[in-house]
Chain A
């Protein structure tokens, strides 16, 4: 069973930046793009596991700090010609409050959603 879990307000995430959410299932990177959209990805680059939350956010993308893979925030997919995909979490915003769709009961167990796109 999964549920929407509140993790904070939009302003808690720096504009064109990210914050980390610690869970029992590893870190989740929560991004805020220049147009105030919120995205959530597993904080692990498909290349060699670099922390995407520490990358540079541009448009709806982030550049990994370790070796420069560019990842689409909406899908988690690496931009061509790089290959691979970071896991993606569903995000909901209500009254400026961000919720992620995570496994309920065990807030610390995050539900992983494999992206097929």
Chain B
């Protein structure tokens, strides 16, 4: 017989857990859900737009009754559980029905706090928590007809302000009473609070700041309707409705009564279990590691972990969440995260442009972002939030942090992209042709919450990723927050809980030397991995054990397996190396003959090379044999590997030249070719600061000056453009080689698979790189020696090995039918 799972609370956290559980173990449990509200599960976050008339109730349903039927989940809606009997493992409803359980999940949410002032029980005093409350508010708003009815909101926090805005849009006369002198004081500092108040005031909301409610006044009639609010200072504000939005408290009474340990909320462990291991809890009702949450973001991570535990997979632990807040008031762009008070050891950076209504504050501690407030222009908020969650060292770019990503040389992603102002038709993801409207549509119709969800469903931001920020913005605007998981502990892929760094460390610490070895030691969730982890592990093993690891071709992307670039139509392009971009008649002839024989054109690439496109796979070995005769070898134009070294002509030819960039570039390419890297790695050598080889957008760029060479790192010019950071100046060619080798090795050893050197530097900080490469001479020499050592094993031309008929014929030749 199936085990019985009973869920109390038909809200967001409970149902998200059930959904995750059904994905993992659809047949493990008989699931019964009890919900006090008379509805299916809806998106509570979107009650604000419903109140404002921007969305309908139907639009915010997450699981309607059909969903429960289709998934075999029994729903008792409008039924409240009043007792948990842990001895007999059953729950009791208000009308005496009992239901047995093997496992119990508490997802009770929280209760709005009702101020204990006289009159708080009058009719017309409502909270803002559920559909019932919204309906009550809408009814009052509609009742007075032409006379504007009056609403007083007690509480100037997120909830209160969203209620105020909604009721204002419903045509009511709205006043907000706030105890403090700053609105949303938990999320905003004084300046931002004041600016926010001004812009809400301009819309017509009245404010009573630093005001304490003494009592709620009611009519003498029998109906006991509310008529106004009296403040401590004696003043009275007339009201047809009073909304209490002064805070929430986790619902724990039911659990407490059953003897389950509670403090501020129901206390749970990292596995989302209460002190009774058969009873789990998720969502706003829980207290985890001393914290309670009043936002939705944590519940997604909690639900995942809890479902994993319920499915008896036994892995996954919840470690707490970093949360951010967005005010969902149309036209006001406000974001807040972390601790932005100027505590000890903190430094604040502030940008303020009052007439544009823009205010940004970023608080740093030890060169890492502790908190941030963005008002009026929050385009860069997701980016900033990510830097904060990853605890990135931002010392290198602190001078441009407040001005956003655009000023970090990330041209093309400028502020003009502010999502708010875009029309629905605006294309967001150029790679996959996805518009703003498509993204919003998918979020609403397919009930998406996270960036990963949107990527999976729309493909937006799944190719080059340059629109990630925009997609995050749209998500945040539509749902009011950032629900992506904290990336600091992001697992490599869905097959494992371990991060890139943890896996690399384990590979060396535990002497793991094969992909199946890593997978079994690290308890992989899938028998054979996926496209992501197989490639990453292959690279990590290759990097860790250069002399012994046997490359697993089947764990490589087709380009690296076949040593050519797959094209749109399934044919391949072939790019031989032209050392430093210098070629000769013999090589040109070989390329020309080959193209002529195949009847294809020749393309000159951006890396100063020649490409032969449209080659059929079965023809590749022959083409390589032909090119090989002229001494041409693979250019690795297809790989996450060292690509070409772009050069200018330099001192030998150019009248400005200070160094022999061409000669040295060729020398460099001969030293560095063949190395596998986390992502492609481009190099450039220019003969003088005129920089004709574009060294300042290369992963490693070298620029000749009178006294030697300048070394530049972390540049890129593709979907994003990032100018290099200057690493240092050196005098001799030998030093350039040593520094470059050390830099490459550091990136090879510490960069995440699929992370360009530019992104890597932004993650770990330039000062770290300088510390390892420039300041630590011994460390640099060791890194460089490790690089040179591994080069000994990889500098074999893969084309020569496969040319003609020898080598891995199977990869290139089709099967034959034997009739």
Which A residues are closer than 8 A to B by beta carbons? 5-8, 12-17, 19-23, 27, 30, 33-35, 50-51, 54-59, 61, 63, 65-68, 70, 81-82, 107-108
CA distance A107 to B818 in the complex (A): 9
Task: Tell me whether A56 and B816 are in contact in the complex, defined as CB-CB below 8 angstroms, given that A16-B528, A67-B463 are known contacts.
Answer: no
Looking at B558, B568, B617, the one whose CB has the most chain A CB atoms below 10 A away is B558
CA distance A50 to B528 in the complex (A): 23
* CB-defined contacts of B462 to chain A, threshold 8 Å: 68
CA distance A9 to B463 in the complex (A): 37
| A17 and B554 form a contact (CB under 8 A) | yes
* CB-defined contacts of A68 to chain B, threshold 8 Å: 462, 531
CA distance A16 to B456 in the complex (A): 25
Task: Choose among A21, A30, A66 the residue that contacts B568 (Cβ–Cβ < 8 A).
Answer: A66
Tell me the smallest distance from the CB of A39 to a CB of chain B, in Å.
14
- Of chain B, the residue at the smallest CB distance from A47 is B459
B557 at interface by CB-CB < 8 Å: yes
- Which residues 417-470 in B have Cβ within 8 Å of A in the complex? 446, 456-457, 459, 462-463
* CB-defined contacts of A61 to chain B, threshold 8 Å: 530
CA distance A63 to B570 in the complex (A): 15
3 smallest A-B Cβ distances: which pairs?
Answer: A63-B531, A16-B554, A54-B558
CA distance A57 to B553 in the complex (A): 11
Task: Choose among A8, A15, A20, A58 the residue that contacts B530 (Cβ–Cβ < 8 A).
Answer: A58
- Of chain A, the residue at the smallest CB distance from B572 is A54
CA distance A75 to B316 in the complex (A): 31
Task: Tell me whether A107 and B817 are in contact in the complex, defined as CB-CB below 8 angstroms, given that A14-B811, A51-B570, A56-B554 are known contacts.
Answer: yes
| B531 and A8 form a contact (CB under 8 A) | no
B529 at interface by CB-CB < 8 Å: yes
* CB-defined contacts of A63 to chain B, threshold 8 Å: 530-531
| A66 and B566 form a contact (CB under 8 A) | yes
Task: Choose among B528, B554, B819 the residue that contacts A5 (Cβ–Cβ < 8 A).
Answer: B819
| A58 and B558 form a contact (CB under 8 A) | no
| A12 and B815 form a contact (CB under 8 A) | yes
CA distance A13 to B811 in the complex (A): 9
* CB-defined contacts of B817 to chain A, threshold 8 Å: 5-7, 21, 23, 107-108
- Of chain B, the residue at the smallest CB distance from A43 is B570
| B526 and A59 form a contact (CB under 8 A) | yes
CA distance A7 to B559 in the complex (A): 26
Tell me the smallest distance from the CB of A46 to a CB of chain B, in Å.
14
CA distance A57 to B556 in the complex (A): 10
B562 at interface by CB-CB < 8 Å: yes
| B810 and A59 form a contact (CB under 8 A) | no
* CB-defined contacts of B811 to chain A, threshold 8 Å: 14, 17
- Which residues 566-595 in B have Cβ within 8 Å of A in the complex? 566, 568, 570
18 more A-B contacts (CB under 8 A) besides A8-B816, A55-B531, A61-B530? A5-B819, A12-B810, A14-B554, A17-B810, A19-B810, A19-B814, A20-B814, A21-B814, A21-B817, A33-B528, A54-B562, A54-B566, A56-B557, A65-B557, A65-B566, A66-B566, A70-B531, A81-B446
| B528 and A58 form a contact (CB under 8 A) | yes
- Of chain B, the residue at the smallest CB distance from A15 is B554
CA distance A26 to B476 in the complex (A): 46
Interface string of B144-167 (1 = CB under 8 A from A): 000000000000000000000000
| A58 and B529 form a contact (CB under 8 A) | yes
Which B residues are closer than 8 A to A by beta carbons? 446, 456-457, 459, 462-463, 526-531, 534-535, 553-559, 562, 566, 568, 570, 617, 810-811, 814-819
* CB-defined contacts of A33 to chain B, threshold 8 Å: 528
* CB-defined contacts of A67 to chain B, threshold 8 Å: 459, 463
Tell me the smallest distance from the CB of A30 to a CB of chain B, in Å.
6
| A21 and B558 form a contact (CB under 8 A) | no
CA distance A8 to B809 in the complex (A): 15
Task: Tell me whether A34 and B528 are in contact in the complex, defined as CB-CB below 8 angstroms, given that A14-B811, A55-B558 are known contacts.
Answer: yes
Task: Choose among A7, A54, A81 the residue that contacts B815 (Cβ–Cβ < 8 A).
Answer: A7
- Of chain B, the residue at the smallest CB distance from A60 is B528
CA distance A9 to B686 in the complex (A): 55
CA distance A40 to B451 in the complex (A): 34
* CB-defined contacts of B553 to chain A, threshold 8 Å: 14, 17
CA distance A33 to B528 in the complex (A): 9
CA distance A51 to B530 in the complex (A): 18
CA distance A65 to B556 in the complex (A): 11
| A65 and B558 form a contact (CB under 8 A) | yes
CA distance A68 to B374 in the complex (A): 36
Looking at A54, A61, A67, the one whose CB has the most chain B CB atoms below 10 A away is A54
CA distance A30 to B617 in the complex (A): 16
* CB-defined contacts of A22 to chain B, threshold 8 Å: 814-815
| B531 and A56 form a contact (CB under 8 A) | yes
CA distance A6 to B816 in the complex (A): 9
CA distance A117 to B529 in the complex (A): 24
* CB-defined contacts of B531 to chain A, threshold 8 Å: 55-56, 58, 63, 68, 70
* CB-defined contacts of B617 to chain A, threshold 8 Å: 54
* CB-defined contacts of A54 to chain B, threshold 8 Å: 558, 562, 566, 570, 617
* CB-defined contacts of A23 to chain B, threshold 8 Å: 817
Tell me the smallest distance from the CB of A63 to a CB of chain B, in Å.
4
CA distance A63 to B526 in the complex (A): 15
- Of chain B, the residue at the smallest CB distance from A27 is B814
CA distance A26 to B327 in the complex (A): 55
* CB-defined contacts of A35 to chain B, threshold 8 Å: 527
Tell me the smallest distance from the CB of B184 to a CB of chain A, in Å.
36
* CB-defined contacts of B815 to chain A, threshold 8 Å: 7-8, 12, 19-22, 30
CA distance A82 to B459 in the complex (A): 9
| A7 and B528 form a contact (CB under 8 A) | no
CA distance A88 to B65 in the complex (A): 36
Task: Tell me whether A56 and B818 are in contact in the complex, defined as CB-CB below 8 angstroms, given that A14-B811, A65-B566, A67-B463 are known contacts.
Answer: no
Query: Can you list 21 residue pairs at the A/B interface with Cβ under 8 Å?
Result: A8-B815, A14-B553, A14-B811, A16-B554, A17-B811, A19-B810, A19-B814, A22-B815, A34-B527, A51-B566, A51-B570, A56-B535, A58-B530, A61-B530, A63-B531, A66-B568, A67-B463, A70-B530, A82-B456, A107-B819, A108-B817
CA distance A59 to B529 in the complex (A): 7
Looking at B446, B462, B814, the one whose CB has the most chain A CB atoms below 10 A away is B814
- Of chain A, the residue at the smallest CB distance from B570 is A51
CA distance A61 to B559 in the complex (A): 19
- Of chain B, the residue at the smallest CB distance from A63 is B531
* CB-defined contacts of B554 to chain A, threshold 8 Å: 14-17, 56-57
